[in-house]
Amino acid sequence: MKIICIGRNYAEHAKELNNAVSATPVVFMKPKSSLLQGATFYYPEFTKDLHYECELVLKICKNGKHIKEKFAKNYYQQITVGIDFTARDLQLQQKEKGLPWEIAKAFDGSAIVGNFIPLPEQDKPIHFSLLKNGEQVQVGDSKDMLFSFDTLIAYVSQYFTLHTGDLLFTGTPAGVGPVAIGDQLQGLIADQPLFDIQIK
Ligand code: ZN
């Protein structure tokens, strides 16, 4: 099982991190060991600037390679929200040096995945949000993605065979920010809570 992640898929978020919008999706991966087990996340010692990035996550339901965009819908049926936890200080150091950023994004517990729900009616925009200590800190809508679900599936499957159970994090909207020990994070699609985690 692998976790494929997309960066810079919302124009407003690219802007807030001073990143250019790319002509093709920005792709990186997290290993299986990055999946958070349980509802408690322990703040890692190697960072002083841990950020949440709330994202829509698709579950792949069929094996495939070189998937054409028009058939991409056959490869996912369920969706949830998740967090792509990012050690922003480490990521900035790595970016400055032009080095890979896995230590900043692929560490243990860095992938939060909510409960999956069936995809809403085809092509209906999906609204999602993140609450920190009960207050809304991030909102997003699938209609604001630069690359659609189907475009992403077609793109990544040129390089990586998709397997049933693989996850696709589809990028974060604007509003990323820090978390601290003691925080509670809840992710929702529309008004349905799908994860609830505690930072310790
Ligand atoms: Zn992200």
- Distance from Cα 127 to the centre of ligand 1, integer Å: 17
Q: Please give the pLDDT value at position 19.
A: 81
**DSSP annotation string for 81-111:** EEEE-EEHHHHHHHHHTT---HHHHSSTT-E
Residues with Cβ < 8 Å from 93, sequence gap 6 or more?
A: none
3-state secondary structure of 71: helix
Distance from the alpha carbon of residue 185 to the mean position of ligand 1, in angstroms: 16
First to last CA, the chain: 27
Question: What secondary structure does DSSP assign to 148-196, as a single string?
Answer: -HHHHHHHHTTTS-B-TT-EEE----S--EE--TT-EEEEEETTEEEEE
| C-alpha of residue 55 to centroid of ligand 1, in Å | 7
CA of 7 to the centre of ligand 1 (A): 5
DSSP 79: E
160 CA distance to ligand 1 middle (Å): 19
Give me ligand 1 centre to Cα 32, in Å. Answer: 16
Residue identified by tokens 């679900």 is 149
Distance from residue 195's CA to the centre of ligand 1 (Å) = 17
Counted residue by residue, the chain has a size of 200
pLDDT tens digits, the chain, 200 residues: what are they? 999 999 999 988 777 888 877 889 999 999 999 999 999 999 999 999 999 999 999 999 999 999 999 999 999 999 999 999 999 999 999 999 999 999 999 999 999 999 999 998 777 899 999 999 999 999 999 999 999 999 999 999 999 999 999 999 999 999 999 999 999 999 999 999 999 999 99
Q: How far is the CA of 68 from the centre of ligand 1 (A)?
A: 24
Question: What pTM, to 2 d.p., does this model score?
Answer: 0.96
Domains plus CATH for the chain? Answer: 3-199 (3.90.850.10)
Distance 60 CA to ligand 1 centre (A): 18
The rounded Å distance from CA 16 to ligand 1 centre is: 13
Chain CA centroid to CA 131, Å:
16
Q: CA 19, 66, 145 angle in degrees (round to 5)?
A: 30
Alpha carbon distances (Å) from 10 to 51, 89, 104, 145 = 17, 21, 20, 5
